[in-house]
């Protein structure tokens, strides 16, 4: 074995992988090792800084639990989850041939975020996801789930969730009922869905842990623009995870996790006189056919 030196060190680490490593593991880990080593060389990383980074990773694990995923929060601050979302959406769109018109009509994805929960209550169309907690401004959100060519999709299941008007998701807030402001809705024969909720508010991501330390080091604010989360599932179509954002929110241009896309900005129009809500949102969702879905590895 050749003596280790600055010149051969990185290649020695890369070549330490054994023959049973899968091609994808070999590809990913080779690139990761080289980028990490190049980063350390570029910034002349010190031992003290390296140990501080290790402590940072440990703290991420220590503060994470079923109500808070600090690893996702930290990666969001770096824009990593939003970048991966862009990469996945691009790969899915190019997995099989499709018309430019259809591809442009498909609803854009957005990050899942750290506060997703399975098993939200199944509710009839038009029902309210409000179970209690702080009060806000009532809104009706309605629309259709459509195929890329505009045909209504029956039986699509929409998971929807948002923070309470105090800017906190229910699993973060002991004063809110379990699964408050969360629900599942199934589209009817016309592809229609509807639910009642509070008009969402801007809120700070949790910044009392490692993710918050990162924001402070980089002199950045922690706020996310007001939004609804959607997770749409239907056999024969690619699952869609997305968010839609209030056009009037002041944080649209500087979302702390870089998730805003122009096509996901929505308008809140005043409800008709006599309505039980103050605002109405009309928002149609177009899904990608399952045969167009796929990972980058499948596309390659």
Residue 282 dihedral angles phi and psi, to the nearest 5°: -110, 120
Question: Over the chain, what is the mean pLDDT?
Answer: 92
Dist CA 197 CA 264 (whole Å): 18
Sign of torsion over alpha carbons 155, 161, 165, 171: positive
Share of the chain above pLDDT 90, in %: 84
As a whole number of angstroms, the distance between CA 238 and CA 98 comes to 14
* 142-179 pLDDT tens trace: 999 999 999 999 999 999 999 999 999 999 999 999 99
Characterize the bridge pairing of strands 240-246 and 265-266.
Answer: parallel
DSSP run (H or E) holding 195: strand 192-198
| Closest C-alpha to 72, from 116, 130, 7, 104 | 116
**Domain locations along the chain:** 21-61, 68-299
Flag whether pLDDT at 298 surpasses 70: no
What integer is the mean pLDDT of 265-276? 97
The pTM of the full predicted model, rounded to 2 decimals, is 0.86
| 128 to 97, 118, 139, 184: CA distances (angstroms) | 40, 18, 10, 11
- Residue 286, CA distances (Å) to 90, 108, 186, 191, 283 in order: 16, 9, 15, 10, 10
Q: Which pLDDT band, with edges at 50, 70 and 90, does 95 fall under?
A: low
Mean pLDDT in residue range 122-128: 98
pLDDT bin (cut points 50, 70, 90) of residue 93 is low
Which of 80-94, 158-172, 216-230 bottoms out in mean pLDDT, i.e. has the lowest? 80-94
CA-angle at 132, arms to 175 and 179, nearest 5°: 75
Fold of 68-299: Protocatechuate 3,4-Dioxygenase, subunit A (2.60.130)
Q: Judging by DSSP bridges, how do beta strands 138-147 and 279-282 pair with one another?
A: parallel
- Non-local CB neighbours of 93 within 8 Å, separated by 6+ positions: 103, 106, 288, 292
Question: What integer pLDDT is reported at residue 1 of this predicted model?
Answer: 58
Q: Which residues of 124-139 are buried (b: 16+ CB within 10 A; e: fewer)?
A: eeeebbbeebbebebb
Can you tell me the mean pLDDT for 46-65? 96
């Amino acid at each position: 074995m050749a003596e280790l030196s600055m010149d051969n060190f990185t290649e020695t680490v890369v070549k330490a992988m054994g023959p049973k490593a899968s091609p994808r593991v070999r590809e990913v880990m080779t690139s990761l090792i080289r980028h990490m080593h190049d980063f350390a060389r570029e910034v002349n990383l010190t031992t003290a800084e390296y140990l501080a980074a290790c402590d940072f990773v440990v703290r991420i694990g220590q503060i994470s639990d079923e109500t808070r995923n600090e690893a996702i929060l930290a990666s969001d601050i770096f824009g990593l989850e939003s970048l991966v979302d862009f990469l996945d959406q691009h790969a899915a769109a190019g997995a099989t041939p499709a018309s430019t018109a259809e591809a442009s009509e498909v609803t854009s994805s957005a990050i899942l975020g750290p506060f997703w929960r399975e098993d939200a209550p199944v509710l009839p169309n038009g029902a309210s996801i409000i179970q209690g907690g702080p009060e806000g401004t009532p809104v009706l959100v309605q629309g259709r789930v459509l195929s890329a060519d505009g045909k209504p999709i029956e039986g699509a299941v929409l998971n929807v969730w948002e923070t309470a008007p105090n800017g906190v998701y229910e699993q973060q807030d002991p004063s809110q009922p379990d699964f408050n402001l969360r629900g599942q809705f199934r589209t009817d024969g016309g592809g229609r869905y509807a639910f009642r909720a509070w008009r969402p508010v801007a809120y700070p991501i949790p910044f009392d842990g490692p993710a918050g330390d990162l924001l402070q080091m980089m002199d950045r604010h922690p706020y996310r623009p007001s939004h609804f989360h959607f997770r749409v599932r239907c056999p024969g179509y690619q699952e869609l995870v997305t968010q839609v954002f209030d056009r009037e929110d002041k944080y649209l241009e500087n979302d702390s996790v870089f998730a805003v896309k122009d096509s996901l900005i929505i308008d809140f129009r005043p409800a008709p006189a006599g309505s039980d809500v103050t605002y109405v949102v009309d928002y149609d969702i177009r899904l990608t056919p399952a045969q167009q879905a796929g990972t980058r590895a499948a596309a390659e």
